[in-house]
Amino acid sequence: MSSLTYEATGIPVESEEADPVNRRVELLLGALASSVLLFIAGMILFTLFKAWPSFAANGLAWFGAGGNVDAQLTDIFNSPADPADYIYKLRAWPLIWSTILISALSVLLATFIAVFSSIFIVHFAPGPLQKLIEPVVKYLAAVPSVVYGLIGILVLVPWINSTFITEEMRSSVAYVIQLDGSSVMAGVMILTVMILPIMIALIVDSLRAVPLNWREGALALGVNKWRAVRTVSVRAIRPAIVAAAVLATARALGEAIMLAMVTGSIGFAPNPFDGFLFFMEPSRPLAPSILDGEEGLSVVPFGETMYAFGFILIVSCVFFSFSGWAIRQSLGRYSIGAR
Amino acid sequence: MVSGKSRRPIKARGSRKVRARGVWSIGDRVGLTIAWATGIFLCLVAFSVTIYLALKGVQYLNLDILISRPEAGTEQSETGGILDPMIGTLLLTILGTAIAAPIGVGIAIWLTEYGRPSLLARFVEAGIEMLVGAPSIALAIFGLLIFQNSFMAPFSFTAEGGAVFGRSFFAAGAIMSLIALPFVVGGTREALNSIPKHVREASYALGKDQASTIRRVLLPSARSGIATGTTLGMAQIIGETAVVVVLLGASLQLAPEGAIPVLDVLKGTGSTLTSYVYQNSPAGEGKAPEKAYAAAFVLLLIVIALNLFVNQISKRGRHTWG
Amino acid sequence: MGIESADEVHDRTESGIPPIKRIVVNGEMPPVRVSQGEANGAPTHIAESFVIDQGAMAPAWTEERMKVESLGVRFDRKEAVKDVSIEVNSGEVLALIGPSGCGKTTLLRSLNKLVDLTPTAVRSGRIMLDGQDTDLMDDTLLRKKVGMLFQQPNPFPMSIFDNVAYGLRERGTKRPGKKELEPIVVDALERAGIWAEVSDNLSHPALSLSGGQQQRLCIARSLAVRPEVLLLDEPCSALDPISTAIIEETIVELKSEIAIVIVTHNLQQAERVADQVGFMYLGDLVEYGSVEQVFNAPMAERTKDYVRGDFG
């Protein structure tokens, strides 16, 4: 960390004043860097400004449940042209619930897989497999989300439809929704694969940074290798695991394309009390909702509603990224390449 | 005593057999099994995705698709090829990288070499991190908010009534640069941080000031890091879909706007490989999955090529400082 | 070789000598407190008091615990240890001395097979623990019996209590409860000579202790799992003289209970704590004998030069 505030030890202060070029370069670059902050602040503020009518018209009920959210969106889209008659009524809970549900499930699943696979990569994979698996993780991170989405919609969704969904399940919910395989399950499965590489990269890095003498100390006590890794290494990197999960949450919340393709794009709040069926139900998180409504952005009240979705997303993603960053800072390690 | 027989490698011990005596508890063994399973799962996912798309790609991709323009058609055979999306991807990548690279390098230099006041530097760092986490769809609609302003009219199509469309290669490229930016910053910072202090001090000792030290000594040394970061940023741009869908308009073909060559294309709308895949998948309107497969395969090839390229440059550029 | 080892096992059971382990585990043996000078000058005193305390038991300190037979260790092309044969007896401290890179640490790390963690290491020869080939034992079982202390104090990032209890908690299938652990932890801390300093804050993080305290905590951590042999890899090289003195005192106190092997750069330290000394040079065991013999009447030229301080 200290290297970032590298002080130009070679330059006495006087010479800096005597050297306007250097000073100007510093100011210019500083301004450039600060513009990133301005941009983020501007983005949050302008989006809030644009979204305000939607929040103002609904109050806190905006976040609540009530009615069919898709029907409400259609009404908003079909608002009369007169600004005085704009319709704003929205109860966005199904979309929010879907966002929370899909992100949380995939982050939980991904954390579990990432911790175990990182342990495997760092400590247990035989040489050749280790050489293979690290590029594989990098590669998985590089596959575009639309490719995952395409495979999801053409392979995974039909597979779920034919494997898991029975006729009874279909008829039991036929009065509200149609089950066709586009589901929470498909979204969670693919989203897990998509956020795994970020988490693995971070966790592998911190596992490697655990001092060898801790592990040797445990082994020398007659503890087997798995226990030594679990009770010393994994224990020591718990904050890094949390940071990885938090950063992955930001990614999961913001994923639009893939989820728009595989979750069925229906503003329905899957009901956990439906049992296993719950995973088969379609839904639509916030990010894909914006993507779906993209063509209606020019309809003023509808656009404002979309910006309201966008605002919620930005604020939560910025919050999660910042927390993840802060946790990693407190670890005293910073490596953007590890992403 | 030191006969060939007794000189056995450590690996050849029969300890695995002995291990079964209960030193490894059930939990330990289950844990180790899960670790193996997850590692193999990762490989399986990567291979099945690649092999599946390769099979589909070989099946549907041909030269004809690569060199013909996309057309609207009711039958898959009438929908043409992916020439325009490929050009679109290329244009957008160049545009986004051209904006992101200099800004990103500048920010990285400021962070590593100046970084004063340090509080501001910390905030900028956090800001870059937030940019990574910011949802691309939110960036996209914010971009629309900017480019639909009347003072942004030169960058996109303006309708009869003076309403600015806000969707163009310019608009998409500008927002794409934000997506690539953190990667450029990250790659450059890593390279600059790995240059030891004595290199800088040597330059100062020769009477160079900080600015010229950066330009003449540090930047050339950080070249491979900058290249790595920029390439990673490119890969992000190439793989990004939401920004394209929102900010590049829905036309599959390039739709130039105005009369000046090149600029007209940049001012106009179009598509990229990612948006082409999206539009032609069952989720979009095209309903031409075969073409989507072909385009997805091309996309995957590009991504693999970029990955290999990054590996190469980071391997070759690895300095060992005295 | 196989027959030989079988004989040893046979001898052992016939002679009816109870393994040292049992004495230690029961903790019945009254602490034999011997001042440093006594230990140095007359190791037999310890043995006498020991024998008297334990009744008619055979003097355990003559017991051979570990036997290294023609050990060779190579890392890739580099031979770190060449054809070394040495014995580790209980009730004694064996010091391995020699210049840096002479293979003494590698030899030490072979005794609990920690050297196997280095992927390039190739080991030949045999190491016996109580007549059993260690290569036929499970690594973890071996390491339970052969504890180790490292050059850098390496307490885990946990509380003091958890550090000492770690080995007991994590090595079996069943995790003992805090109640069961408490007396063992206290006993281990006492024997490592750190109890007085930490008795009122067992829940404090171990990393907040000073370097010398950390090292003694690590000793306690090793003792808690009741090892039969304790390997010390330059345990004092990172410590100040006062901590060093305390640790040396602890070593001398412990040797009546367990066999100790210490690797050290410090010749005075070897002279102070050791009963037997092995001098290693470039992977060879040049000389091996009692501390008086090696320091006062070394047989090999190299040893003479080294103990005189001519090189190393």
pLDDT in tens, A250-307: 999 999 999 999 998 888 888 888 788 888 899 999 999 999 998 888 889 999 999 9
Which amino acid does the sequence have at A292? Answer: D
pLDDT in tens, C47-63: 333 333 333 333 444 57
C235 contacts in A (CB within 8 Å)? Answer: none
Which amino acid does the sequence have at A19? Answer: D
Which pLDDT belongs to residue A178?
A: 85
Asked whether residue C14 carries a pLDDT value surpassing 50, the answer given is no
Which pLDDT belongs to residue B321?
A: 60
Q: Least CB-CB distance to A227: which of C119, C158, C170? A: C170
Per-chain mean pLDDT for chain B: 85
Dist CA B309 CA B312 (whole Å): 5
User: Of the given ranges (B11-15, B252-256, C170-174), which has the lowest mean pLDDT?
Assistant: B11-15
Which has the closest alpha carbon to A123: B36, B93, B244? B36
Q: List C residues 124-143 in contact with A (Cβ-Cβ < 8 A).
A: 139-143
Look at the domain C2-308 and name its fold. Rossmann fold (3.40.50)
At residue B269, the 3 state secondary structure works out as strand
Which amino acid does the sequence have at B238? Answer: I
Asked whether residue C22 carries a pLDDT value surpassing 50, the answer given is no
Dist CA B109 CA C295 (whole Å): 61
Dist CA C155 CA C221 (whole Å): 9
Taking an 8 Å cut-off on Cβ atoms, the answer to whether C124 and B23 are in contact is no
Which pLDDT belongs to residue C45?
A: 36
For the segment A116-122, the average pLDDT, to the nearest whole number, is 96
Q: What's the Rg (C-alpha) of chain C?
A: 19
Which pLDDT belongs to residue A329?
A: 80
Hey, CA dihedral for A122, A125, A126, A132, is it positive or negative? negative
Q: And the tokens for B258?
A: 């105005």
Per-chain mean pLDDT for chain C: 78
Element (H, E) at C30: none
Asked if B62 contacts B83 with a C-beta cutoff of 8 angstroms, the reply is no
Asked whether residue C26 carries a pLDDT value surpassing 80, the answer given is no
Q: A43-57 as b/e, with b when 16 or more CB fall inside 10 Å?
A: bbeebbebbebbbeb
Dist CA C255 CA A177 (whole Å): 77
Q: Which residues pair with C231 in a beta bridge?
A: C148, C261
Dist CA B286 CA B278 (whole Å): 9
Asked if C134 contacts C127 with a C-beta cutoff of 8 angstroms, the reply is yes
Give which of C135, C168, C174 to mutate to test B binding, by max B Cβ within 10 Å: C135
Which has the closest alpha carbon to B301: C247, C221, A143, A50? A143
Give which of A206, A223, A225, A331 to mutate to test C binding, by max C Cβ within 10 Å: A223
Report in angstroms the alpha-carbon separations of A65 from A102, A207, B188: 18, 43, 47
Which pLDDT belongs to residue A67?
A: 86
Q: Which residues pair with C95 in a beta bridge?
A: C262, C277
At residue C65, the 3 state secondary structure works out as strand
> How many Cβ atoms sit within 10 Å of the Cβ of residue C274?
28
- CA-based nearest distance C256→chain B, Å: 29
Burial of C215 (0-12, 13-18, 19+ CB in 10 A): buried
Q: Does B288 touch chain A (CB under 8 A)?
A: no
Closest-CA residue of B relative to A251 is B133
Q: And the tokens for A191?
A: 């989203």
At residue A78, the 3 state secondary structure works out as coil
CATH superfamily of A93-338: MetI-like (1.10.3720.10)
Asked if A274 contacts B297 with a C-beta cutoff of 8 angstroms, the reply is no
**DSSP character string of A282-310:** -B--HHHHHHHTGGGTTSHHHHHHHHHHH
Q: List B residues 20-79 in contact with C (Cβ-Cβ < 8 A).
A: 21-23, 25-26
Residue A182 contacts by C-beta under 8 Å, 6 or more apart in sequence? A153, A157, A262, A263, A264, A265, A282
Taking an 8 Å cut-off on Cβ atoms, the answer to whether C173 and B19 are in contact is no
Asked whether residue B307 carries a pLDDT value surpassing 50, the answer given is yes
pLDDT in tens, B42-70: 999 999 999 999 999 999 888 888 888 88
- CA-based nearest distance B308→chain C, Å: 28
Dist CA A203 CA A225 (whole Å): 18
Asked if C257 contacts C24 with a C-beta cutoff of 8 angstroms, the reply is yes
- Residue boundaries of the structural domains of chain B: 61-316
Taking an 8 Å cut-off on Cβ atoms, the answer to whether C72 and B22 are in contact is no
- CA-based nearest distance B26→chain C, Å: 8
Class at the top of the CATH hierarchy for domain B61-316: mainly alpha
CA A246 to chain CA centroid, Å, is 8
Asked whether residue B85 carries a pLDDT value surpassing 80, the answer given is yes
ipTM for the whole predicted complex goes beyond 0.85: yes
- Residue boundaries of the structural domains of chain A: 93-338
C155 contacts in A (CB within 8 Å)? Answer: 217
Closest-CA residue of C relative to A126 is C119
Burial of B277 (0-12, 13-18, 19+ CB in 10 A): buried
Residue C180 contacts by C-beta under 8 Å, 6 or more apart in sequence? none
Asked whether residue B3 carries a pLDDT value surpassing 50, the answer given is no
Report in angstroms the alpha-carbon separations of C158 from B73, B298, C117, C176, C188: 67, 52, 24, 17, 17
pLDDT in tens, A171-220: 888 888 888 889 999 999 999 999 999 999 999 999 998 988 899 999 99
Asked if A176 contacts B311 with a C-beta cutoff of 8 angstroms, the reply is no
Q: Which pLDDT band holds residue B23 (cuts at 50, 70, 90)? A: low
pLDDT in tens, B108-134: 999 999 988 889 999 999 999 999 889
Give which of B41, B192, B209 to mutate to test A binding, by max A Cβ within 10 Å: B209
Element (H, E) at A59: none
Which pLDDT belongs to residue C312?
A: 58
Dist CA C272 CA C255 (whole Å): 13
Which pLDDT belongs to residue B320?
A: 60
User: If you count DSSP H runs as helices and E runs as strands, how many of each does chain C have, helices first?
Assistant: 14, 10
For the segment B192-216, the average pLDDT, to the nearest whole number, is 87
Q: Does A17 touch chain B (CB under 8 A)?
A: no
Region class of B287: left (phi > 0), else alpha (psi between -120 and 50), else beta: left
CA A168 to chain CA centroid, Å, is 34
Asked whether residue B308 carries a pLDDT value surpassing 50, the answer given is yes
pTM: 0.84
For the segment B248-272, the average pLDDT, to the nearest whole number, is 83
User: Of the given ranges (A71-80, A229-238, B202-211), which has the lowest mean pLDDT?
Assistant: B202-211
A219 contacts in C (CB within 8 Å)? Answer: 114, 117, 139-140, 143
Taking an 8 Å cut-off on Cβ atoms, the answer to whether A217 and C218 are in contact is yes
pLDDT in tens, C277-286: 999 988 889 8
Closest-CA residue of B relative to A120 is B35
Asked whether residue B6 carries a pLDDT value surpassing 70, the answer given is no
Asked whether residue A134 carries a pLDDT value surpassing 60, the answer given is yes
Name subunits touching C (3+ CB pairs < 8 A). A, B
User: Is B73 or A80 the better-scoring residue by pLDDT?
Assistant: A80
- Residue boundaries of the structural domains of chain C: 2-308
